[in-house]
């Protein structure tokens, strides 16, 4: 290589370098997508690129040569000037958006974000030549959109984690409810099967016909008692279902609590006597009248008493008190029973909850009684509470009901509801239906026979039919006074029968008083029954006394199509 | 190379001055009182570095890395474990909800924190040695400890030492552990230790 050649190449490369440097400077000034500011060692502005001009509104010609800290006094106020001092000492500074927001205030470029001010990330570096700092370089990056997107993402994450945790809570709650229901279903099956065993067992023996007269009587008694107990379980379940769906309606009248409590005590007395439990009643006759549903109030007291008898050991004591306290009436039922643990106390009125849900538990029942009490008392605008000093120390349930100062219902106070469940129903005292012709329609022979027997017992003449077709013929032939019809029948149902009958003229039986008989006991079923033309709704299983009372009541008034 | 007890104490005292400066700067920036625990200093050969740190920073590491040059040259790193890095950013930026990851803004905050700390320490060394130290722009990396160690710029053929300084950021009733690692050549470390000895002798006067 010749010396001249080498020189030329050096010159070439040096001029290339100069050209490149110029190109880089041009790029930095005109094209860079960041703000680029250089200063000399005194912090006087040397370079102010196009991006800075565009975003600050300050032209390069107006800032070059001027001191950066004088141009932007805010830098001193915000103590950011020290980064320039450090830069002149050779240090690099990073200014994050999160801790500084911005270096030089500039309006944000419009876009999808919620900032008025441009959010910036900044680097401030020394510019050195041969180990000596001769100036500073500031690079400003617009991070507004990025910050906005990050915040949005963070919100989404927070929202998702909030949803997740609330979903987790709901799932736990659902699982807990499910567990309670499972326990409850196990209890229901157990409680329904127990009486069923007795019923099936004794019924089987009766069918064989080998029982002595005394044993047969015992068998019937046992079957009756167990069937009653099952009916009570089903009634409780239906009550709960009505309460849950808000379908339970109170038949509110002015009622006398003394009579209601006495009736409940009378009905529980045999059970208490069987365990030699002393039942004490301290009922203040002046406690007054309250507004309520007599049946439901008796159910409340009866449930509390049943509960007390169940959990009070032999030779124990149960006390019922009725008194007036200020503007309300208070009923307390205290017992000397097994008491309630502190842990279970808050759950006493929960549905499906029993202190001992194990299969080996001593006390039967569904654990619905107290929940029903709570709901019924609520419906009466009252409250129920429980106190217990702990296990083995008895329990006291207190019900408060609002006192009615003025009798707001002209109807006579109702004392004892008819058809008390636990009373052994006899036909004594029931109205005679002598001479009354009753048409009974049911596809089930057993039901037909049962109703027929009961009605014949009180003197009525009964015509039984298996279908709608038969019933219409019987109506024409026998001209009955009263119709009792099942609803669910094959081919044509009870609704069809009543609509056909109501379409007939009065002389052909179109206005015959009618009661529907059905196992569908929900409020909407009752409504449909009444709307379709029946005057009464008799839920299955039929209570004999109730049946006779209903028929007597129907006989007392004819159907009025205008009503 | 081992530090004597006196050298270690003197070095710790000097670094603590830089830490105090860092704590003050972070407190002012965030509006929360930030304190760095007094440093615990040790010297390792770079080959031993992995073993020394692995116990404290298992898994992914967030490192803020600055290269420095001049008469004394090397690599300065602030190492935090990933969860610690996320926690520290949350504490410094008032994150309402604990973050699960480091977004770009969080990485920038960490870079600034590392920058403040490394500048304070290296600046202090520069003053002590009376030399002008130049710095690269700090960079944040999320990688394994091996990758961090491999990324140091030092000449692998020459024997290097690492000054490992253990500390913890105390902020808003929380504590985030971290390591400051300064990798130096034998000559640079020798020079530093001489100056530390001289400074210590001067303090004793």
Which residue does chain A place closest to B137, by CA atoms? A92
CA distance B8 to chain A (A): 26
Average pLDDT, integer, range A137-152: 92
Domain A162-244 bears CATH identifier 1.10.287.130: yes
What tokens were used for B64?
């803020």
Q: Give me the pLDDT at residue A464, please.
A: 94
Ranking A97-106, A271-280, A460-469 by mean pLDDT, the lowest is A271-280
- Closest by CA position to B9, among listed B169, B201, B175: B201
Confidence class of residue B171 from pLDDT cuts 50, 70 and 90?
confident
* Confidence bin at A356 (pLDDT 50/70/90): low
Q: A198-257 pLDDT, tens per residue?
A: 788 888 888 888 888 888 888 888 888 888 878 877 887 877 777 767 677 777 777 888
Return the CATH number of the domain spanning residue range A20-142.
3.30.450.20
Lowest-confidence segment of A382-396, B106-120, B191-205 by average pLDDT: B191-205
* pLDDT tens digits for range A508-536: 889 899 999 876 656 667 778 888 888 88
Angle between helices B104-129 and A144-208 (to 10 degrees): 130
Architecture in CATH of B5-204: 3-Layer(aba) Sandwich (3.40)
The tokens of A356 are what? 């001992």
CATH architecture assignment, domain A253-402: 2-Layer Sandwich (3.30)
Tell me the average pLDDT across B60-73: 87
Cα–Cα distance for residue pair A511/B136, rounded to 1 Å: 105
pLDDT score of A412: 42
CA separation for the pair A239, A252 (Å, rounded): 17
Q: Does B126 touch chain A (CB under 8 A)?
A: yes
Assign A466 a pLDDT band (cuts: 50, 70, 90): very high
Return all residues near A263 (Cβ < 8 A) that are at least 6 apart.
A298, A415, A416, A417, A420
Is the minimum CB–CB distance between B137 and chain A shorter than 8 Å? yes
**Which has more pLDDT, A544 or A361?**
A544
Per-residue pLDDT tens for A402-419?
A: 876 433 343 444 444 433
Say whether residue A405 is in contact with chain B using an 8 A CB cutoff.
no
Overall average pLDDT of the A146-165 stretch? 87
What rounded mean pLDDT belongs to chain A? Answer: 82
Do B109 and A99 count as a contact with CB atoms less than 8 A apart? yes
Is A98 close to B93, i.e. CB distance below 8 A? yes
Higher pLDDT, A407 or B179: B179
User: A75-79, A357-361, A468-472 — which is least confidently predicted?
Assistant: A357-361
Separation of alpha carbons A373 and A383, rounded Å: 10
Q: What is the pLDDT of residues B69-118, one digit of tens each?
A: 887 888 999 999 888 899 888 888 876 566 777 889 999 999 999 999 99
Q: Assess whether the previous peptide bond of A541 is cis (omega < 30° from 0).
A: yes
Per-residue confidence (pLDDT) for residue A521, from 0 to 100: 58
Residue A80 touches chain B, beta carbons under 8 Å: no
| B154 inside 8 A of chain A by CB | no
Residue of A nearest to B109 (CA): A96
Q: Which residue of B has its CA nearest to A93?
A: B115
CB contact A154 to B (< 8 Å): yes
pLDDT for B87: 87
pLDDT digits (tens, 9 = 90+) for A162-179: 889 898 999 998 888 888
pLDDT band at residue A3 using 50, 70 and 90 as cut-offs: low
Instruction: Write out the two tokens for A248.
Output: 């339970």
CB contact under 8 A, A158 and B133: no
Nearest one of B86, B90, B80, B139 to B112, comparing CA atoms: B139
Q: In this predicted structure, what is the pLDDT of residue A525?
A: 72
Cβ separation of A126 and B70 shorter than 8 Å?
no
Q: Are B125 and B59 in contact (CB under 8 A)?
A: no
Q: Where are the domains of chain B?
A: 5-204
Cβ-based contacts under 8 A for chains A and B: 76
Q: According to the 3-state scheme, what is the secondary structure of A89-115?
A: CCCCEEECHHHHCCCCCCECCCCCCCC
| Residue predicted with more confidence, A194 or B127 | B127
For residues B159 and A364, give the distance between their C-alpha atoms in angstroms, rounded to a whole number: 85
CA-derived radius of gyration, chain B: 16
CA A298 to chain centre: 27
Residues of chain A above pLDDT 90, percent: 29
The verdict on A150 touching B (C-beta cutoff 8 Å) is: yes
pLDDT band at A558 (very low <50, low <70, confident <90, very high): very low
Chain B contacts of A143, Cβ < 8 Å? Answer: 104-105
* Confidence grade of residue A463 (pLDDT, cut at 50, 70, 90): very high
Give A61's pLDDT tier (boundaries 50, 70, 90): very high
pLDDT-wise least confident of A446-460, B82-96, B150-164, B169-183:
B150-164
- Residue B140's pLDDT band (cuts 50, 70, 90): very high
Helices (H), chain B: 5-30, 46-54, 82-93, 104-129, 145-150, 186-204
**Rounded-to-integer distance, Cα A284 and Cα B145, Å:** 86
Q: What is the pLDDT of residue A134?
A: 95
The token pair at A49 is 């690129």
Task: State the pLDDT confidence band at A555, using cuts at 50, 70 and 90.
Answer: confident
A385's tokens? 């509470």
Please name the member of A123, A150, A158 whose beta carbon is closest to the beta carbon of B97.
Answer: A158
For residue A123, the surrounding DSSP H or E stretch is strand A120-129
- As a whole-number percent, the residues of chain B with pLDDT over 70 amount to 94
Q: What is the mean pLDDT of residues A450-470?
A: 89
Residues 90-129 of A with CB under 8 A from B: 90-100, 121, 123, 125-126, 128
Q: What is the pLDDT of chain B when averaged over all its residues?
A: 85
Query: In this predicted model, what pLDDT tens digit does every residue of A315-327 receive, in sequence order?
Result: 889 999 998 887 7
* Residue B29 confidence (pLDDT): 83
Query: Same CATH topology for A20-142 and A162-244?
Result: no
Q: What is the CB-side half-sphere exposure of residue A107 using CA atoms within 13 A?
A: 7
**Domain A437-555: homologous superfamily in CATH:** Response regulator (3.40.50.2300)
A182-196, A220-234, A357-371, A487-501: which has the highest mean pLDDT? A487-501
H-helix or E-strand containing B74?
strand B74-81
pLDDT recorded at residue A361: 47
Query: Tokens at residue A509, please?
Result: 């039986």
What are the residue ranges spanned by the domains of chain A?
20-142, 162-244, 253-402, 437-555
In this model, does residue A192 exceed pLDDT 60? yes
Q: Which of A87, A90, A119 to mutate to test the interface with B (most CBs of B within 10 A)?
A: A90
Q: Which of A35-39, A472-476, B21-25 has the lowest mean pLDDT?
A: B21-25
Q: Is the pLDDT of residue A360 over 60?
A: no
For A88, the closest chain B residue by CA position comes to B134
pLDDT value at A60 more than 90: yes
When CB atoms are compared, the residue of B70, B109, B137 closest to A92 is B137
CA-nearest residue to A119 within chain B is B105
**Per-residue confidence at A48, pLDDT binned at 50, 70, 90?**
very high
| Cβ <8 Å between B111 and A95 | no
Half-sphere exposure of A269 (CA within 13 A, CB side): 11
Tens digits of residue pLDDT in A9-35: 666 777 888 999 999 999 999 999 999
Q: Across residues B59-63, what is the average pLDDT? A: 86
Contact residues, chain A, for B66 at CB < 8 Å? 92
Q: Is B4 on the interface with A (CB under 8 A)?
A: no
């Amino acid at each position: 290589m010749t010396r001249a050649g080498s020189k030329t190449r050096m010159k070439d490369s040096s001029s290339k370098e100069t050209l490149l440097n110029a190109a880089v400077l041009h790029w930095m000034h005109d094209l860079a997508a960041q703000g680029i500011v250089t200063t000399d060692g005194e912090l006087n502005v040397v370079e102010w690129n196009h991006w800075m001009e565009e975003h600050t509104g300050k032209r390069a010609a107006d800032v070059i040569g001027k001191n950066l800290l004088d141009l932007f006094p805010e830098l001193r106020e915000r103590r950011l000037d020290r980064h320039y001092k450090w830069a002149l000492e050779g240090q690099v500074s990073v200014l994050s958006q999160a801790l500084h927001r911005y270096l030089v205030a500039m309006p944000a470029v419009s876009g999808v974000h919620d900032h008025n001010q441009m959010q910036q990330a900044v680097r401030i570096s020394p510019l050195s030549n041969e180990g000596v700092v001769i100036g500073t370089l500031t690079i400003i990056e617009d991070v507004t959109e990025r910050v906005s997107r990050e915040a949005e993402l963070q919100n989404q994450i927070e929202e998702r984690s909030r949803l997740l945790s609330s979903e987790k809570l709901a799932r736990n709650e659902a699982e807990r409810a499910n567990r309670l229901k499972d326990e409850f279903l196990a209890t229901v099956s157990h409680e329904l099967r127990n009486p069923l065993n007795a019923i099936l067992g004794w019924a089987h023996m009766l069918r064989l016909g080998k029982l002595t007269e005394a044993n047969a009587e015992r068998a019937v008694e046992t079957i009756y008692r167990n069937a009653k107990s099952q009916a009570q379980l089903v009634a409780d379940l239906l009550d709960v279902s009505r309460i849950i769906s808000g379908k339970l309606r109170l038949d509110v009248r002015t009622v006398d609590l003394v009579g209601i409590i006495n009736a409940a005590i009378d009905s529980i007395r045999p059970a208490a006597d069987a365990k030699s439990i002393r039942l004490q009643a301290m009922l203040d006759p002046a406690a007054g009248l309250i507004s309520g549903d007599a049946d439901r109030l008796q159910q409340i007291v009866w449930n509390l008493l049943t509960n007390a008898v169940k959990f009070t050991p032999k030779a124990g004591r149960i006390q019922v008190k009725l008194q007036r306290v200020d503007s309300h009436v208070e009923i307390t039922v205290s017992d000397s029973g097994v008491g309630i643990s502190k842990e279970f106390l808050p759950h006493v009125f929960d549905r499906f909850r029993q202190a001992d849900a194990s299969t080996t538990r001593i006390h039967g029942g569904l654990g619905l009684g107290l929940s029903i009490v709570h709901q019924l008392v609520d419906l009466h605008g009252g409250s129920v509470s429980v106190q217990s000093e702990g296990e083995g120390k008895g329990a006291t349930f207190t019900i408060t009901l609002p006192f009615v100062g003025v009798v707001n219902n002209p109807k006579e106070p109702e004392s004892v509801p008819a058809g008390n469940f636990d009373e052994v129903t006899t036909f004594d005292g029931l109205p005679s239906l002598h001479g009354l012709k009753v048409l009974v329609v049911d596809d089930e022979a057993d039901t037909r026979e049962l109703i027929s027997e009961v009605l014949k017992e009180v003197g009525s003449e009964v015509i039984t039919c298996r279908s709608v077709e038969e019933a219409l013929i019987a109506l024409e032939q026998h001209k009955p006074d009263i119709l009792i019809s099942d609803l669910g029948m094959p081919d044509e149902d009870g609704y069809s029968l009543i609509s056909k009958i109501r379409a007939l003229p009065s002389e052909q039986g179109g206005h015959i008083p009618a009661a529907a008989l059905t196992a569908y006991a929900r409020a909407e079923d009752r409504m449909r029954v009444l709307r379709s033309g029946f005057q009464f709704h008799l839920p299955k299983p039929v209570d004999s006394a109730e049946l006779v009372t209903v028929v007597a009541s129907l006989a007392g008034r004819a159907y009025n199509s205008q009503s | 190379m081992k530090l004597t007890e006196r050298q270690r104490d003197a070095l710790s005292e000097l670094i603590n001055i830089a830490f105090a400066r860092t704590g003050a700067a972070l407190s002012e920036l965030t509006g929360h009182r930030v304190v760095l625990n007094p440093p615990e200093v040790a010297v390792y050969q770079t080959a031993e570095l992995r073993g020394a740190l692995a116990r404290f920073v298992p898994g992914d590491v967030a490192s803020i890395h600055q290269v420095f040059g001049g008469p004394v040259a090397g690599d300065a790193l602030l190492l935090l474990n990933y969860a610690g890095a996320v926690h520290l950013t949350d504490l410094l930026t008032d994150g309402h909800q604990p973050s699960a990851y480091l977004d770009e803004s969080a990485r920038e905050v960490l870079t600034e924190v590392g920058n403040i700390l490394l500048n304070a320490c290296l600046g202090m060394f520069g003053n002590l040695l009376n030399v002008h130290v130049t710095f690269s722009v700090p960079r944040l990396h999320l990688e394994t400890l091996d990758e961090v160690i491999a990324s140091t710029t030092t000449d692998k053929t020459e024997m290097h030492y690492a000054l490992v300084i253990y500390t913890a950021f105390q902020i808003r009733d929380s504590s985030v552990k971290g390591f400051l690692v300064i990798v130096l050549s034998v000559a640079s470390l020798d020079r530093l230790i001489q100056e530390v000895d001289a400074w210590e002798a001067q303090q004793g006067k």
